[in-house]
Structure 1
């Protein structure tokens, strides 16, 4: 069974305009469907990429983490997962092209895994400082959310600096309260 859409009109011009109108409406419906699918896909990816069992982070902190995840995917093509868990950190299967940051505030433990190129760009000394020194003494006084935001900011700045061939900033930035938002960064290609 064939579907024929034939606009009715008294003249050829009227039929032509009705056909153009039908095409515009069909185009708008297809565009709206595509936008809805993109939005749904982004929400699903955001849910899978960020997991907070503690429910301690504020709305702005959660938005910051999700913005970092989106920015890493959009700017560098790196999939990122951030997990804040209540249990001890256990070995997980990790995609070699994925960056994983796991924090367990009750056990005061941090685990990070970086893809090869990101690991090379950040440097082993920088990564070691983040894993072993950056969060020290921040769990007991519940400052680990601020340390997480600082950690993500440091990773972002380091990658942007490496990409733009600028000098790499210092590793230790414990007292720096000027955290830049990855999504509002002035970084341009």
Structure 2
């Protein structure tokens, strides 16, 4: 049994061109398989990054969160998990390279865990403001999804500005401000 397929042709040039064609086709098949694998992994990782027991987030909010998750992983190497739960927030086992945000609308609690370098870049005061004040008064009228989008945007802006040596914006809780999309923000590298 032959391990290699021998191309047939009348001349050496024809056989060579057929061999090159087979190599190109094989390369395209391998590339397509790799791209499909990457796409499938992205979908699985994005699905695992958001856990919404309340089923309140709409499609655009989920897409925004998935964009934030992808951007954090691609730009800073940080995995992100966001959990919206119905039970009280409890202490969880968290990977040291993972950013975890847990929101419990029924109990009006927020828990956040930041990796060491991200915590240092954001600052303890900023993180404390997010945990204690940012979501306050937004649970009763179900405006917490907007507060979550603003929170993610503020985290992204602060990290991008720290990385690019630009001045860091102050913490704000005004929901009327537009929230930039983390995947489309431009920053100096």
Confirm or deny a common fold (TM above 0.5). yes
What 5-or-longer segments of structure 2 have no aligned partner? none
CA shift, 1:188, in A, is: 3.9
Contact 2:54 2:84 in 1 (8 A): yes
1-side partners of 2:80 and 2:68: how far apart? 9
CA shift, 1:2, in A, is: 4.6
SS in 2 for 1:183: coil
RMSD of aligned alpha carbons: 1.1
Matched pairs, number: 189
CA shift, 1:168, in A, is: 1.1
1-side partners of 2:24 and 2:116: how far apart? 47
- Structure 2 length as normaliser, TM-score? 0.97
Distance change in 2, residues 1:91/1:63 (3 Å): same
CA shift, 1:4, in A, is: 2.0
1-side partners of 2:143 and 2:41: how far apart? 32
Q: After TM superposition, which residue ranges in structure 1, 4 or more long, deviate above 3 angstroms?
A: none
- Structure 1 length as normaliser, TM-score? 0.97
What 5-or-longer segments of structure 1 have no aligned partner? none
1-side partners of 2:176 and 2:156: how far apart? 15
What's the counterpart of residue 150 of structure 2?
Answer: 150
What's the counterpart of residue 165 of structure 2?
Answer: 165
